[in-house]
Structure 1
Amino acid sequence: MAPLKSMEQEYPIIDAAFQKFCASHGIFSVEDLLMCDIDALMAFADKEPKSEKLKQGFTQILTIIDGLHQPWLNGLDLLEDAKWNKHVLSTGCKRMDELLQGGLRKGQLTELVGPSSSGKTQVCLQVASSVAKMQIGSVLYLDTGNSFSPRRIAQFVHKSSGSVLNYQADHIPLQKVMNSVLCHSVFDIFAMFDILHQLEINMKSQIHKADHQVQLLIVDSISSLITPILGGSGPQGHALMISAGFLLKKLAHEHNLAVLVTNHMVGGEGGITKPALGESWKSVPHVRLLLSRDHGSNICNVSVLKHSSIAFGREASFMIYD
């Protein structure tokens, strides 16, 4: 999200005096504000000579965040949008494509949840290789845990081609595929916001260059970025989580790209595990898939937890090779 200084021209209430007050409390951006106790800031503002103006500034920023909602669409708008824009991208796995009626749907956010070592990252890498190999655009891969493996993507590419891994023999096509996968290491949610906002700016400037645009955005994993900010009793962590979900869905919808995120599992009532990030996040993804794998097995099982046109519980199995 934006630094406060960059908002002054469009919103005069966020002037130098407001910025100075915020800076005295270590606040220089919208993210900084969301991470603070708003009630405490209001109490500090009450002690200032121009307290009402300061409060108006805070209200303005919160109103901007509150207004970040997609417009209402009628049924005809949604039907036309689905008909012309929301195509699918193959995951590179026949069984998963069959389950998902073709693959990952563009314009939607798909979440892959599962315990550690269930194969979430392997699926992300396979999907990245599949989309990059189609040469219809690029893949943006946000790696939050140093798990991105270019060699693994190369293996998936060669496996799908039915060839042995040979960098010399297949150098040119492999190079084209690898050039289509852009990886960023991201270790906190603010770095992710910066990358996503830059992506949005870039895509708006490349409207007529669809063949070069990002077709797939992967965040592996979204929960590792959000979980650290959810601690404490304040609402700011929750607000940042919802903002992250909104921005991902906004990018998917407005720029017709598929978004794939991963989420880990946590303990629930009675020792039953459940997806992390809670009930508020549960409503964010359009599609939610559960991935599982027995210890020591290469066989993965994926089942539908949420989908607009596929029954809950439908599942498929596939193999992740070494």
Structure 2
Amino acid sequence: MVILREGMCPGLDEALIRDLRAADIKTVEDLVSSDIEEVAQRCSVSYKALFAIRRVLLAQHTAFPVSGADLYEELLSSTAILSTGNPSLDKLLDSGVYTGEITELSGGPGSGKSQVCFAVAAHISFHLKQSVIFIDTTGGFCAGRLLQMLQTETSNTQEQMEALQRIHVSRLFDVYALLDCLYGLRGGGLQQTSVGGGSVKAVIVDSVSAVISPLLGGKQNEGMSLMIQVAGVLKTMAKDFNIAALVTNHVTRSASGEVQPGLGVSWSHIPRTRILLERVEKSAVFSPSGLRSATLIKSSRQPCPIKEELNLQWWSRSQEASSSGKRKLDETDS
């Protein structure tokens, strides 16, 4: 379901949205399936204007048939693979994150989700010279971590600053702000961000579950609707603009006690690829604190599950970062 919003199409202004909601018409589905003549009378709006709005919404939200050959040609011409910079993670992802798709990292507190997001952003910015949109919904973003990662790639201060400038950060703390941000990016924000800094190749949301999970459960359907809206705009943006969408998710436990990604079954169909990150408990006193278990639990390209040992300190492996113990970037990671 897509909630009706002001500006979705010409004529759909704030006053009409208010009247439609009073008539219990809140979504695009409600409007296109209703009796337009009856709604026009209840909302005191002309039948012709409401019919035009309905026609535009149908055109925007109705799927049109496309042949498999056309889809395959489009895939070959548009898909790019963006390396994460970590061989173990790239192996799980079949070479890296793919544009046009949503990739999910799920894990509990301290599992390394945020650090992987920082590392992917730094790698794309520095090595590909492309821009990254980083949406922080938890307040956990740290520019210092990014800088430390970039310092392991180059000692040139100007190159470090240029790479940081290609990472555009938004701090948002509720799902409505997230939707506004995503709709704004899809509606022109991506092109504006690309000016002077390389085209946007990735949108990272850390974390998508932080703003959605509080709205789920109970008898309210609004949370589910908002979740599907977030998924829809991420998917269309990734496909239409040939970018990779990387999101993080929390974990829950099933009835049998098994760790699994949060947000439920409805969300599980959204990401094309899902990786579960977990801490690795080592008996050795001096075992690396950055060691994680990464399990591929969903993929359209590789059999599942596949497990790899992931060292978070790979991205800070030089300049004595891992040996000094002073740059353990994962210690406060969420």
Q: TM-score range by the shorter chain?
A: 0.7 to 0.9
Match of residue 279 from structure 2:
293
Instruction: Please tell me whether residue 170 in structure 1 is matched to residue 156 in structure 2.
Output: yes
Q: Does 1:307 align with 2:293?
A: no
- Does the CA contact (< 8 Å) of 1:203 and 1:213 recur in 2? no
Q: Check the 8 A contact 2:131/2:194 in 1, yes or no.
A: no
After the TM superposition, which of the residue ranges 278-287 and 312-321 deviates more from structure 2?
Answer: 312-321
What does residue range 155-234 of structure 1 map to in structure 2 within 5 Å? 155-161=148-154, 170-202=156-188, 212-234=198-220
Superposition pairs of residues 1-322 of structure 1, within 5 angstroms: 4-7=5-8, 10-11=10-11, 14=12, 18-21=16-19, 33=26, 50-51=41-42, 64=57, 68=61, 71-161=64-154, 170-202=156-188, 212-294=198-280, 297-321=289-313, 322=328
Q: In the alignment, residue 306 of structure 2 is paired with which amino acid?
A: R
Per the TM alignment, residue 89 of structure 1 is displaced from its structure 2 partner at its CA by 0.6
User: Which stretch shows the higher mean deviation, 116-125 or 272-281?
Assistant: 272-281
Amino acid of the residue matched to residue 306 of structure 1? K
1:131-189: CA deviation from partner (whole Å, max 9, x where unpaired)? 0102432100000111111111112122244xxxxxxx521000110000011001011
- The verdict on how the C-alpha distance between 1:302 and 1:69 changes in structure 2, with shifts beyond 3 A counting, is farther
Identity %: 28
Residue 332 of structure 2 is matched in structure 1 by none
Is residue 135–residue 180 contact of structure 1 (8 Å, CA) maintained in 2?
no
Quick check: 276-285 or 66-75, which moved more?
A: 66-75
Q: Supply the AA of the counterpart residue of 1:241.
A: M
What corresponds to 1:164 in structure 2? none
- Counterpart of 1:276 in structure 2: which amino acid? G
Q: What is the CA–CA distance in structure 2 between the aligned matches of 1:68 and 1:20, rounded to whole Å?
A: 21
Contact 1:69–1:246 under 8 Å retained in 2? no
User: Does the Cα contact within 8 Å between 2:190 and 2:200 map onto a contact in 1?
Assistant: no
CA contact (8 A) 1:113 1:262 kept: yes
SS of 1:113's equivalent in the other structure is strand
Q: What's the C-alpha RMSD, in Å, of the aligned pairs? A: 3.6
* Residue 298 (structure 1) shift: 1.7
What's the TM-score once normalised by structure 1's chain length? 0.79
User: One-letter code of the match for 2:42?
Assistant: S
Tell me the alpha carbon deviations over residues 266-296 of structure 1, each in whole angstroms, 9 at most, x when there is no partner. Answer: 1321232321111010000111111111358
Q: 1:71 to 1:228 in 2, by over 3 A?
A: farther
Amino acid at match of 1:154: L
Q: CA offsets per residue over residues 75-125 of structure 1, 9 Å max, x none?
A: 222221222211111101121112222110111110111111110001000
More divergent stretch after superposition (213-222 vs 309-318): 309-318
Q: Which residue of 1 aligns with 2:324?
A: none
Q: CA deviation at 1:319?
A: 1.1
Cα separation, 2, equivalents of 1:192 and 1:271 = 32
Q: Distance in 2 between matches of 1:79 and 1:192?
A: 32
Partner of 1:165: none
Q: Residues 182 and 2 of structure 1: is their aligned pair in 2 closer, same or farther, counting only changes over 3 Å?
A: farther
Amino acid of the structure 1 residue aligned with 2:7? S
Q: What amino acid does structure 2 have at the position aligned with 1:117? A: G
Matched-pair contact (CA < 8 Å) for 2:7–2:13: no
Aligned length: 295
- Tell me, yes or no, if the aligned pair for 1:70 and 1:250 is still in contact at 8 Å: no
The change in CA–CA distance for 1:112 and 1:18 in structure 2 (over 3 A counts) is same
Q: 2 CA distance for matches of 1:199 and 1:288? A: 24
Contact 1:139-1:216 at 8 Å conserved across structures: yes
Deviation at 1:203, TM superposition (A): 5.7
Output the TM-score relative to the length of structure 2: 0.76
